[in-house]
Amino acid sequence: MADGAGAPDRRTLRIFLHSGFVWQLCWSSYWTLFFLRIVIDVGLDPLQLLLLGTAKEITILLVEIPTGVVADIRSRRLSVIIAFIICGFAIVGAGVATSFAMLVGTQVLWAFGSTFRSGAEVAWFTDEVGSLEVVDTVLPRRGRFEAVGSIVGLTTTALLATATSLSIALLAVGIVLIGWGIVLIFRMPETGFQRHEASARSRIRQLLGEGFQAAHRPGLRVLLVVTVVTGFASEAVDRLSVARLAQIGFEGTINPALLVGGASVVQSLGVIVLLLIFGH
């Protein structure tokens, strides 16, 4: 609950900020290491890289609403904890998988786990502080925590991967994510949650109905088209950029983990600068 006028409880605020830090640390490190591993160590071709992305996106599309219902009718806290633990195991799997089929499985598992967190963490914080105004003031600060987490994760895991291997670095990232999920079991409060009285099935029907109704709005249809187009474009860039770097021979001068990780760190620094400029 709020600690004084307009101020969130310190424990709740710390959990919210630190969860953003840990998630972004692991998320940015995971994708950088994962793409390097599947191109350099496993040797997937461009078609296989795109199929991995397709499996992930289809899974998200199919389970986003069913898993979101958990946060509405059961517990926001539980939904967030599930996300951290399942995604942690997905990263561990990505570190040990040696075949295309196994890698597809890790992508499906990641997609499934990540949908439990989608919206649930901010909804949990909103419930706990009971004020949208407070949430609006905290979100830019959380964004800075996330950007710093990305820098710390990319730097640390790039050095770890250089000293050991991409697989070991991925295992370390997965263990960190699972570990934070376990911390949340003991440290994450939930005092403001009010569950929906509807059953899971009726809640899913309600959400689908609201979605179809909203889809009739012209502005939202335009937004949907833009989102789909940019999604296709970003997936192609995300999936094929590392393969393209390997194709032109980026391994000869500097370790790939340091090269790609360094580029991502620069990007995260830019995010921090923008948040400092516009986040007030």
Task: Convert the pLDDT of each residue in 75-120 to its tens digit.
Answer: 999 999 999 999 999 999 999 999 999 999 999 999 999 999 988 9
Angle at 242 between CA 238 and CA 245, to 5 degrees: 135
In a domain, residue 4? The reply is: no
pLDDT: which is higher, 220 or 146: 146
In a domain, residue 5? The reply is: no
| Domains identified in the chain, total number | 1
Question: Which of 9-13, 15-19, 195-199, 224-228 is least confident?
Answer: 195-199
The helix/strand/coil state of 8 is strand
> Looking at residue 27, what is its pLDDT?
94
Calculate what percentage of the chain has a pLDDT beyond 90. Answer: 42
| The pLDDT of residue 224 is above 80 | no
In a domain, residue 2? The reply is: no
Domain interval for residue 162: 10-278
Closest CA to 148 of 280, 14, 22: 22
CATH code, domain carrying 157: 1.20.1250.20
> Looking at residue 34, what is its pLDDT?
92
What's the predicted TM-score (pTM) here? 0.83
> Looking at residue 47, what is its pLDDT?
87
In a domain, residue 248? The reply is: yes
> Looking at residue 5, what is its pLDDT?
45
Instruction: Kindly report the backbone phi and psi dihedral angles of residue 206, in degrees, each rounded to the nearest multiple of 5, phi listed first.
Output: -65, -45
C-alpha to C-alpha distance for 153 and 24, rounded to whole angstroms: 8
Angle between helices 256-278 and 10-36 (to 10 degrees): 140
Q: Which residues on neighbouring strands pair with residue 8, listed in sequence order?
A: 2
In a domain, residue 264? The reply is: yes
Closest CA to 81 of 179, 193, 176, 185: 185
Angle between helices 46-73 and 100-117 (to 10 degrees): 30
C-alpha to C-alpha distance for 258 and 264, rounded to whole angstroms: 10
In a domain, residue 1? The reply is: no
Give me the residue label for tokens 């770097």.
Answer: 245
C-alpha to C-alpha distance for 129 and 104, rounded to whole angstroms: 39
> Looking at residue 30, what is its pLDDT?
94
C-alpha to C-alpha distance for 189 and 196, rounded to whole angstroms: 19
What does the pLDDT look like over 109-122, one tens digit per residue?
Answer: 999 999 999 889 99
In a domain, residue 254? The reply is: yes
Give me the residue label for tokens 């692991």.
Answer: 26
What does the pLDDT look like over 49-69, one tens digit per residue?
Answer: 888 988 998 998 888 888 888
In a domain, residue 252? The reply is: yes
Model confidence at 178, pLDDT cuts 50, 70, 90, reads very high
What are the strands, taking DSSP E only, across the chain? none
Distant-in-sequence contacts of 157-162, Cβ < 8 A, 24+ apart = 157/29, 157/32, 157/33, 157/257, 157/261, 158/32, 158/255, 158/257, 158/258, 158/260, 158/261, 158/262, 159/258, 161/33, 161/36, 161/255, 161/257, 162/255, 162/257, 162/258
Which residues have C-beta within 8 Å of that of residue 242, sequence separation ≥ 6?
35, 36, 39, 256, 260
